[in-house]
């Protein structure tokens, strides 16, 4: 067998293991809450996930910077002939995207955009 045939098998095994582990530990968590004597309302309140209202904004800024890094990497690669520019620009711009998304989110949370 060649290595290419193992990739889908391993991928589905890993995804299956992660999924089964998630279900197992979530039920284990609920079981521990029941043993502690929590009511249904208390369990719902504890299990309710806090949603980040700025998640899509963060992902958009990050995607924009990854795209800019990819474009800049290919541009520098064509100018200089070195392909090392591509991963360098992608990683650098992704880091700048994380910083930019953090600063933008902090500004919106603190001053509501003012």
Domain of 19, in residue numbers: 3-47
- The answer on 33 and 7 residing in a single domain is yes
- The answer on 106 and 60 residing in a single domain is yes
- pLDDT greater than 60 at residue 113: no
- The answer on 105 and 60 residing in a single domain is yes
Task: Note the pLDDT of residue 36.
Answer: 84
- The answer on 66 and 20 residing in a single domain is no
- The answer on 103 and 85 residing in a single domain is yes
Q: What is the pLDDT of residues 58-97, one digit of tens each?
A: 999 999 999 999 999 999 999 999 889 999 999 999 999 9
Number of domains making up the chain: 2
Output the DSSP codes for the chain: --HHHHHHHHHHHHHHHHHHHHHHHHHHHHHHHHHHT--HHHHHHHHPPPP-TTHHHHHHHHHHHHHHHHHHHHHHHHHHS-TTHHHHHHHHHHHHHHHHHHHHHHHHHHHTT-
- The answer on 62 and 14 residing in a single domain is no
Model-level pTM?
Answer: 0.58
Pick from 69, 76, 62: nearest CA to 90: 69
- The answer on 42 and 82 residing in a single domain is no
- The answer on 98 and 82 residing in a single domain is yes
Q: What is the pLDDT of residues 5-50, one digit of tens each?
A: 888 888 999 999 999 999 999 888 888 888 888 777 877 777 777 7
- The answer on 107 and 60 residing in a single domain is yes
Task: Note the pLDDT of residue 106.
Answer: 93
Task: Note the pLDDT of residue 101.
Answer: 94
């Amino acid at each position: 067998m060649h290595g290419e045939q193992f990739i889908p098998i391993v991928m589905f095994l890993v995804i299956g293991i992660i999924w089964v582990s998630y279900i197992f530990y979530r039920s284990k968590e609920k079981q521990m809450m029941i043993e502690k004597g929590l009511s249904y309302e208390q369990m719902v309140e504890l299990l309710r996930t806090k949603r980040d209202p700025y998640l899509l904004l963060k992902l958009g800024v990050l995607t924009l910077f990854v795209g800019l890094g990819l474009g800049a990497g290919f541009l520098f690669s064509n100018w200089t002939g070195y392909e090392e520019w591509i991963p360098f620009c992608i990683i650098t711009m992704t880091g700048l995207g994380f910083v930019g998304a953090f600063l933008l989110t902090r500004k919106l949370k603190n001053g509501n955009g003012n």
